[in-house]
Amino acid sequence: MKVYFDARQLGHAPQVYFRRGAAMPHQEQPQRAEILRDMLLSEGFEISAPGDHGVGPIKAVHNPGYVDFLPDAYDRFVESAGAEALAIPTMHPGVRRGKEPRDIHGQLGWWMTDTSTLLTPGSWDAAYWSAQSAVAAAEAVLSGERAAYALCRPPGHHAMRDCSNGFCFFNNACIAAHHMTSKYRKVALIDVDVHTGNGSLDILYERGDIFFCSLHPDPATYPTFFLGHADETGEGAGAGTKLNLLLEQGASQDDVLATLDKGIAAARAFGAEALVVSLGFDMAADDPLAAVAVYPDGFATMARKLADMGLPTVLVQEGGYLGPSLADNGRAFLTTFRKAIQ
């Protein structure tokens, strides 16, 4: 199974963010990718750097204005506010009526939703090459590989069409899924990160060619809030092609796996010809952002269930933070998936 990762993805290095009004150490650290990379190498996976497919695949799912805003946004912020300030939005448009301002502080609020996705000197390169890793994995599958894994960092499934959100700049899974539609009429995107794939839901809501299913606790009471309710099933051409499967906070491994079975059955009923998986190891019981209790053997079972769908598959890394079992969970899922498709 081919693996794609670029060292420039380590350049985004946020130090703090605000949660419940308090500043705290940022959870989305470069070490996450280093731990998974080193595990992959120890298990004999060959890691390739992605080629550069440009901004075209990114702009295919994101507002081009948002994409064009990011490359020099940090430098412009520092020029205005100084290097000691946090490059986060402090004013927002509310409902998205109005026009994009020219001032950098207003632009941060226009294109960015929260304090968790702050800009640092290496953010643009990291987000750009994370997206390129997803495109490279999709290209590999389009070229005949049974499956490929993109070690995407920063993650992507919270990024909406025209704004960052929840540690995410570009929605790597949606970029991969859209890329797959160049060959496959129907693509399924199944999100097994513990948080709702709210950005993916936003991007895909009116698309009928990409089925989307997310497993997550009720967004009425659990981040990222707002999107991911059971009655949000798509609109227009996408009506009936979106499925939010809600988990109880503290759900057991058996509960999670039984819920995944429902998502897989729905993807099959949709007639999916290819699969993209938003792969989050923050389903782990000991993850710093834990809300359910999945263990390494559960991730292995999850991998077998998804591999048994028998579809060309792109695996896209999402969450999974610096808990004790991160490497073990990654090893359990990825080695099991590799064995299952051989």
Active-site residue set? 158
Across 210-229, b (16+ Cβ under 10 Å) vs e yields bbbbbbbbbbeebbbeebbe
Evaluated on CA atoms 52, 58, 60, 61, the torsion sign reads positive
CB atoms within 10 A of CB 25: 11
Token pair recorded at residue 200: 């993916």
Bridging pattern class, strands 147-150 and 313-317? parallel
Query: Which DSSP string corresponds to 14-45?
Result: --EEEETTEEEE-S--HHHHHHHHHHHHHTTP
**What's the rounded Cα separation, in Å, for the pair 75 and 56?**
23
Token pair recorded at residue 240: 């009936």
